[in-house]
Amino acid sequence: MKAKLIKVLTALILPFTFIGLLMLLSTLPLRFFNVYDIGGIVITLVALGLTFIFLTKKGKSFKDVGLYLEGKTPIRFSLGFLSGSFITVVMLAIVVNFSSLEFVYSEGSSLLQVCFWLMIFFPLAFMEELIFRGYAFLEINKTVGLWPAQIILAILFAWYHDFTGATFFNQLLGPGVWALIFGIAAVWSKGLAFPIGLHMAINVVLALVGLKDERHAIWNLEYPTGTTEVLKAQTDTIGLYMQICILAIGIILTEYYRRNKRKID
């Protein structure tokens, strides 16, 4: 048991080191440090560098953490992107249908410019999946099982988002819940291409409706003038119910995969 604990703690050094470096960079007076700008490229390079160092010390390669290019890689990425787009569009449609929110076209938005900026979500999704569904996730999964890997990395994923200013509880209900989906997508597809596509698509669709960086918005989700606080609270409740549904799906899929794999093994 002690040996397993040491292995888990050793694996966690990578995401903890990455989060620490990211927090340090965010405190420095660097104009370029914006995750939706060149800062996203910088922290992706940091993630690659740290992962390479850890893998080298363990005598492993990027292929051992599901990061390699093969014939099916573009297909898996595309399937992930299509899945993420469909899921996010459906969720937004539910919110708009059962709340007072409405889509408002963003005047002056340039489709060409938006498409250019949206490309930044690829390195961001790549970086986050590499750190949180790569080496540490696989090592913990192999050492103590899928559930500990899912739970520990989901909590770390939520904490990693915590420096944006939102409460940790809200991050658990947001990124923390989605971490379970990304995690099961990674183990089920046996690689990172599918979860990277899935992750990127969710961010892209949210950015298009102004829920990320406003530079990427073609539409904005807004309340009509005169919307009461009661109606706004109802919208928050709808959002909470959907996150609970995503959580339930993540739990069901994780347990189904775990039991199925145990039967095969």
Contact 160, 19 (CB under 8 A): yes
Check residue 250 and give its pLDDT: 96
- Among 52, 45, 46, smallest CA distance to 67 is for 52
Cα separation, 59 vs 75, in Å, equals: 29
Instruction: Report the pLDDT value the prediction gives residue 27, as an integer from 0 to 100.
Output: 76
Residue 222: enclosing H or E segment and its boundaries?
Answer: strand 219-222
Q: Are 242 and 91 in contact (CB under 8 A)?
A: yes
- CB of 74 closer than 8 Å to CB of 80: no
pLDDT at 262 over 90: no
What is the pTM for the complete model shown?
Answer: 0.91
Of 242, 132, 108, the closest CA to residue 192 belongs to 132
Distance CA 155, CA 169 (A): 10
Cα–Cα dist 222/211, whole Å: 11
CA torsion angle for 257, 64, 157, 189 (degrees, to 10)?
A: -40
Continuous H helices in 28-145:
38-57, 73-97, 111-118, 121-132, 135-144
Most confident option among 39-43, 107-111, 154-158, 226-230: 154-158
DSSP annotation of 69 reads: -
pLDDT value at 226 more than 80? no
Would you give the distance in Å from CA 162 to the centre of its chain?
13
Residue 140, pLDDT above cutoff 60: yes
Residues 98, 167, 197, 245, Cα dihedral to 10°: -40
Residue 166 has pLDDT above 70, yes or no: no
Q: Name, in order, each residue with C-beta under 8 angstroms of 203's C-beta and a sequence gap of 6 or more.
A: 121, 124, 125, 212
Identify the H or E element spanning 105: strand 102-105
Handedness of CA 146, 150, 153, 156 (dihedral sign): negative
Res. 111 pLDDT band, cuts 50 70 90: confident
| Coil, strand or helix at 94 | helix
Q: How confident is the model at residue 196, as a pLDDT?
A: 96
200-217: pLDDT as tens digits: 999 999 988 888 777 678
